[in-house]
Structure 1
Amino acid sequence: MKPFKYCLTTALSLIAISGAGHVTASELQVFPFPQPVRYALHNDDYTVRVRVPGGRWNDLFEYKAKVDLDNPDSEASMTFFNFEGPVEVSVQKNKGSFRDVTIRPTSKGIKPKIEDGTVYFTLTKPENLSIEFDKDTLNNLHLFTQPIRKNLPVKRITPASPYDIGNVAIPDTSTPVVYFKPGVYTGDIRLKSNTTVYIDGSAVIKSPVLMENVENVTVISDGLFVDAGQTIIRNSKNITIDGTIHINQKHGTLACFNSVNVKEIGIRSIGGGQWSDGLGHFACQDVEIRNVFLRTSDDNITIYNHRWDTWGDSRNIQVSEATLWADVAHNVMIGIHGNTPSAHHPDAEVIENVTFRNIDVLDHDEDEPDYQGAIGLMVGDDNLVRNITFEDWRVERIEDGKLFSLQVLYNQKYNTSPGRGIEDITFRNIHFTGKGAFAPSLIRGYSPDRKVRGISIENVTVGGRKLTGAQPDLLEIGDHVENVSFK
């Protein structure tokens, strides 16, 4: 194994920007790996280095990351750092030769150059990327970056086992600030109200973060969650999760239940286990999801209502600047779980006022026709789904599936009744390359009183062909559908 040379660095270099009339500073922050994970988590497929232009190269630690449940022996790589201003990255492939390399999302416009078998490219702002040699997506390199943290709280305390944060002795400060210093942590992390957590970039967390019946909690992370279990937000409000990285998730990354005013920012997750969903939401309201990278073997982002002991509506959810990669299932799944009215719970539920804007889809793969759809509205359990906008999407590939599927249905595996309807859905500026083995998109209602209505399809293309109506190879419009318009 190659020698490791790591240090926590903050390097400065002044880089003149041609024609800009000013000088921009570059700043780089890399994190040492905790020694206990040195052999257990290292992947030697790549050697990755980073530097400020003209500065010293910093060697990064490449982590093993399981991907794609359909190919359980696959093992990708992941590495991360923080920076501001331009930085240069080099990637050396250590096993076998290669002919070409692709950096995705391609919309980022990052063009690598190859010199003596090593790939070089420059980043001018933080991005979350997949670096693929000869189109290999099973053993690729994931590169996650974010801005350097500024103005972190000065007063910090370090938790002690079992990491029950609310029980740690707090200094004389109105808002507890808990610092997870470099090291490996196990044991559930239960947060109490009015708590701020900072996770060092050299900390590895191997346990879930639990926020239940709390308010005013912020988790800021430069560190790494490894097979940590789902982060849980339940019956809470004013919650922020900022910057967490998750790998080797056997189940979901985050599940939010009956919570209000939740921010999920900068979350990056790679999961190859069964039911390894990304970000799941059950009857949550006023949610912001921004700048996330989710590669999972189940749905990337879900919005549901009632399930288990959770009841209520979902509304006011904004998703933006996301990169989604579903090795299995949907990139977005909305509406399958809800409340069939009963004597105990008489109210049917609603999902409304949701926007997905500026989204890159790297792939969607679903073998079962009934569950296909990079964008899937599968509306059952008397849910009504309305006022949803999908805007500015770039879909690079569909291995097996559909671009979108809008169905009011009764799924006997999950539902106790069909959905009430789908209303006022907008698809705007969505462009799918046509690569892969895709099936026509689908719009279908359930019955005369459980319809799909008010669908606006504006500037949607597949392989350069614009959707202008029902077309056998592009779009199927079934029964109980009203008022579909095309622009």
Structure 2
Amino acid sequence: MKRYSLLHLLLSMFLGLFIALGNTACSTDTKNSTIIIYPAPSNEILSKDYTLEVNGQKVDIYLAKIADVENPPSWTLDPKDVGGPYSFSYFDFSGEVNIKITSLNKSLDNLVIRPLLAGIEPKVDGNTLTFSISKPCKLSIEPDGRLEPLLIFANPLEINPPKQGEPSVIYFGPGIHKPENINLSSGQILYISGGAVVKGGVSVSGDNVKIMGRGILCGNDWPWRKGPGSMIGMREATNVTVDDIILRGSWGWTIPIYNCDSIAITNVKLVCSKNPNDDGINPCNSQRVYVRDCFIRTDDDCIAMKGINLGSNNDNIEYITVENCLLWSDRARVFLLGHESRAQYMRHITLRNIDILHFNMSPFLFEPGEEMSIEDVLVENVTAFADYPIQSGEKTFDFIRLKPAVNQYMKNQVPGKINNVHFKNISLTGEEKEGWYPIWVTGADPEHKVTNVTFENITWFNHKLDEQSPQVKIDNNTTNIHFINSGDK
């Protein structure tokens, strides 16, 4: 057995304490605010595009890779079209804090801060902007549109986080860790503290599992489709919560949820778009999935609901809620419902209070097949900004498409059905271009129809839409499709 002298042990303890203190979160209290800042690991490569100060304190800025895939297929994004790595930063606070950002490489002449509904009106002096915030928020600082923005995740203060050494807790403190595979079962808690970068994938099964913390779960070390499972993959799990963490650089589907019940994902930030097929959150054959107060940027679909498997007690996709979220898809759809779905129903879906910062293909694509019925869907209070596809050629995309379909993903080559869908208070903004982003409703045949769809207060580039609008196309095999605008009798 290797022996250590007392002096050696004391030196090791002192060195460990010194390193820990160097990576410890910095907490500052003033009369009007409390701020928690988490230093990045010393060997993390940081952004050289921006600097950030909160109440005069420096906050480290990380990088998220984009379109970084070897030998990409022809349908993927070209890196030159979507810019280089983008930047993101995070801190916790209460009260009111002052934000100061300096853009080191881009002019602020065309600066936009999204979401616009946040109402941030900064003071700009040369390449520096300042503003104040008094409640938690997620902001995209955009000197040049979708190209190389700075994302700011201003979190609320943590309340009673788990401590290292507690039973059933897998704890990652500040620094870089590479466990590669983390398996969670009933009653376990995974905690990724602020200042931690954990490289690997997480598999969840069983009951009452928690994933939480302020740190980063990172997939940058793995190429497309070569990572360990999924970044957070759930199978046959119930009562799972995922709170507050950041997921970066997924190699495939980021959070797939297979045959699960009662899943809550809150204040989670996905800074992806490194690889194709990096869907954000995929409820598959699952029930009672709640996604709240999240930020999702992906190359592929932000939220894709699928009914892939058959054979469990309940294969339906039911009671799915996505609300109070910021969504951004660089290449694909924002909400995709119906592909790869062999369940009987996809129903009781609520999508509300959504700000779509940027999108490429149709933001709302409902295409059920294999006899599955999409029904009882409410889409409410959505603002979407259209900055148009980067690579589309002559092809244009719909804003909303409701169309039972047959496609290459289906085992049974038959369409599905759509019934009882309500779009309410939906606004498409940006620059209007002829032929782009219409609403298209069409059935497949008399047995696979679209029925009972209401469009209420739909604003299309400042135009209120109705059945006669040129931007609306209602085809055959549809029943009871109608528009309502405020003031209509």
- Which TM class, normalised by the smaller chain length? 0.7 to 0.9
- Pairs within 5 Å for 1:9-28: 9-15=26-32, 26-28=33-35
Answer yes or no: is the 8 Å Cα contact 1:67–1:138 preserved in 2: no
1:124 aligns with 2:126: no
- Pairs within 5 Å for 1:53-64: 57-64=56-63
The residue number in structure 1 matching 2:36 is 29
The residue number in structure 1 matching 2:385 is 396
1:385 aligns with 2:374: yes
Corresponding pairs, count: 431
Quick one: distance in 2 between partners of 1:143 and 1:88? 13
The residue number in structure 2 matching 1:458 is 456
1:327 aligns with 2:323: no
CA apart distance, 1:361 = 0.6
The residue number in structure 2 matching 1:163 is none
**Cα offsets for 1:455-474 (capped at 9, x unmatched):** 011111101111111433x1
CA apart distance, 1:189 = 0.7
Answer yes or no: is the 8 Å Cα contact 1:382–1:417 preserved in 2: no
**Residue type at the aligned position of 1:425:** V
Percent identical residues: 26
Answer yes or no: is the 8 Å Cα contact 2:23–2:175 preserved in 1: no
**Residue type at the aligned position of 2:327:** L
CA apart distance, 1:364 = 1.5
CA apart distance, 1:199 = 1.2
Quick one: distance in 2 between partners of 1:87 and 1:453? 50
**Residue type at the aligned position of 2:317:** S
1:468 aligns with 2:461: no
CA apart distance, 1:47 = 0.8
CA apart distance, 1:415 = 4.7
Q: 3-state SS of the aligned residue for 1:305? A: coil
Q: 3-state SS of the aligned residue for 2:53? A: strand
**What TM-score, normalized by structure 1, do the two folds share?**
0.84
Answer yes or no: is the 8 Å Cα contact 2:25–2:194 preserved in 1: no
Change (3 A) 1:413 1:447: same
CA apart distance, 1:94 = 1.1
Gaps in structure 2 of 5+ consecutive residues: 1-21, 68-75, 221-229, 390-396, 485-489
Q: 1:303 aligns with which of 302, 305, 308?
A: 305
Gaps in structure 1 of 5+ consecutive residues: 16-25, 52-56, 158-170, 340-347, 367-372
Change (3 A) 1:306 1:479: same
Change (3 A) 1:309 1:189: farther
Q: 1:218 aligns with which of 198, 206, 210?
A: 210
1:354 aligns with 2:349: yes
Quick one: distance in 2 between partners of 1:201 and 1:65? 17
The residue number in structure 2 matching 1:428 is 424
CA apart distance, 1:308 = 9.0
- Pairs within 5 Å for 1:399-414: 399-400=388-389, 401-414=397-410
Range with greater deviation from structure 2 (181-190 or 90-99):
90-99
Quick one: distance in 1 between partners of 2:311 and 2:194? 36
The residue number in structure 2 matching 1:283 is 285
Q: 2:158 aligns with which of 149, 170, 193?
A: 149
The residue number in structure 2 matching 1:72 is 79
- Pairs within 5 Å for 1:430-445: 430-435=426-431, 437=433, 438-445=436-443
Q: 3-state SS of the aligned residue for 1:107? A: helix
Answer yes or no: is the 8 Å Cα contact 1:445–1:480 preserved in 2: yes
The residue number in structure 2 matching 1:418 is 414
**What TM-score, normalized by structure 2, do the two folds share?**
0.84
**Cα offsets for 1:154-191 (capped at 9, x unmatched):** 4x32xxxxxxxxxxxxx6x5xx2332111222220101
Change (3 A) 1:270 1:470: farther
**Cα offsets for 1:82-105 (capped at 9, x unmatched):** 111111111111125432321101
CA apart distance, 1:144 = 1.3
